[in-house]
Amino acid sequence: MWRTTISLIFILFIVIFTSYVSSCLWAGRPEQQLDSIEITVSEGITVAEFGKKYDLDRKVLKNVFNLKSQDDLKKQVADFGMSEELLSKKINKALAIQAEHGSKNWIKILIKGALWIIFLLAVFNLLRKGKITARNRKWIYMAAVCVFGIILGSDPSPMGTVKDAIVLLGSKGVIFPPRLIALGIFLLMVVLANKFICSWGCQIGTLQDLIFRLNRNSKDRNGLFGQIKIPFIISNSIRILFFLFLILVAIIWAADIVEVIDPFKIFKPHAIGIAGGLFISLVLVTSLFVYRPWCHFFCPFGLVGWLAEKISIFKVKVDYDKCIACEACSQACPSTVMDAILKQDRIIPDCFSCGTCIETCPADAISFEYGKREKPPKEKFDK
């Protein structure tokens, strides 16, 4: 237990310290919720004068008034036939989009996206060949944490594509197109290979998985100290309620309930408050005993991804002609998902394609293949 505890403390210290240095190097404009501005239109005021009055740049004026030429700046605001209420709404939406765009480091995002594709393709190849083992699994997770978390930071992340979209839409009534594109790409990754972006690319997901593996034996088959498999009906019910609460608060109070406790901020330590620090610490310590607690209990993308993985092309499959019904795979699985996949007798929980079941099976009956899962023969698992 002491060895596990020391390993956890060492990893968290390295993550926090190096992330602090890295986030300082990547420092840019911070994301922030802009206060709405109230507009009053003076009689005879031109578009150019209006823009100067409210400190609006040409891009915002062009979007709001649909300007076609430089001469349109000389037109009176009243000529466009918009009420002050409609004008205020359009301006606040334009400013929100501008703020979102300005807060992004697009060079970093492109680098991160390219590395995600390269890294996930490499892991996909290893998993398909059954070469992800107890020996290299931790190193792969550690590489993901270092590259996509420590070096490239907390943003972008799969969770942010869902959570931030909900908050921005609820608070400002605005959709940020690049975020929807990112969400579409992440969901495509989920569909192509069962929840692969969560499994091997998400910085907080891989950190939780790495911590969980610290509390496992050398073969990565069993927990050393009391690991618990939470029933899916409990974890998913909490996750659905949290998701609905996130939407409700965003719409009614224009607030973000995840912002304070956001675990991705461990890769941006200077932004963590006291409440956030306590929550993140609880999540990461719990990760020793419960498999990916943030993913299973809270993550908005985790919920959306769980729905998308129902149509995944490549997934964990069982060849029942080879299967000897020993259930070693479900016992070694970090969660309850392999038991559900094996027996096909209930809703299948999130599968994070970790490959533990493939490595564990003594009959080579499990693989990461494309196509529909077969049903087990009747009485296959009767005891």
- Residue numbers in the chain where pLDDT is lower than 70: 28-35, 383
User: Do 194 and 325 belong together in one domain?
Assistant: no
DSSP class of residue 80?
G
What confidence score (pLDDT) does residue 382 get?
80
Q: Both 303 and 320 in a single domain?
A: no
CA distances 380 to 190, 315, 323, 325, 326, Å, are 30, 21, 9, 7, 10
Can you give the pLDDT at residue 32?
57
Confidence (pLDDT) at 380: 87
* Sequence-distant (≥ 6) Cβ neighbours of residue 26 within 8 angstroms: 105, 108, 152, 153
pLDDT at 128: 97
Residue 217 burial (C-beta neighbours within 10 Å; 0-12, 13-18, 19+): exposed
Q: Are 179 and 118 in the same domain?
A: yes
Vertex 67 angle, CA 64 and 69, to 5°? 160
User: How many domains are contained in the chain?
Assistant: 3
User: What are the residues facing 314 on neighbouring strands?
Assistant: 193, 370
Peptide bond into 156 cis (omega under 30): yes
Q: What residues form DSSP beta bridges with 76?
A: 46
Q: Given 283, 307, 331, which residue is the final one in a domain?
A: 307
In terms of domains, do 141 and 268 share one?
yes
Same domain? For 303 and 348 the reply is no
**Would residue 232 count as lying in a domain?**
yes
* 378 belongs to a structural domain: no
The predicted structure's pLDDT at residue 36: 75
Q: What are the tens digits of pLDDT across the range 80-129?
A: 999 988 999 999 899 989 989 888 899 999 999 999 999 999 999 999 99
Q: Are residues 243 and 330 in the same domain?
A: no
Burial 155-165 (b: 16+ CB within 10 A, else e): bbbbbbbbbbb
Whether residue 86 is found in the same domain as residue 110: no
Last residue of a domain, one of 75, 102, 129: 102
Whether the model clears a pTM of 0.95, i.e. scores above it, the answer is no
Of 291, 307, 323, the position where a domain reaches its end is 307
What are the tens digits of pLDDT across the range 275-292? 999 999 999 999 999 999
Residue 35 within any structural domain of the chain: no
The span from the CA of 334 to the CA of 279, in Å, is 22
Q: Are residues 88 and 118 in the same domain?
A: no
Please report the pLDDT score of residue 210 as a whole number.
Answer: 98
Q: For residue 201, which phi and psi values (nearest 5 degrees)?
A: -110, -30
d(Cα 94, Cα 71) in Å, to the nearest integer? 21
Indicate whether 134 and 154 sit together in one domain: yes
Residues 240 and 118 in one domain: yes
Range of the domain at 68: 47-102
Burial of 222 (0-12, 13-18, 19+ CB in 10 A): exposed
133 shares its domain with 270: yes
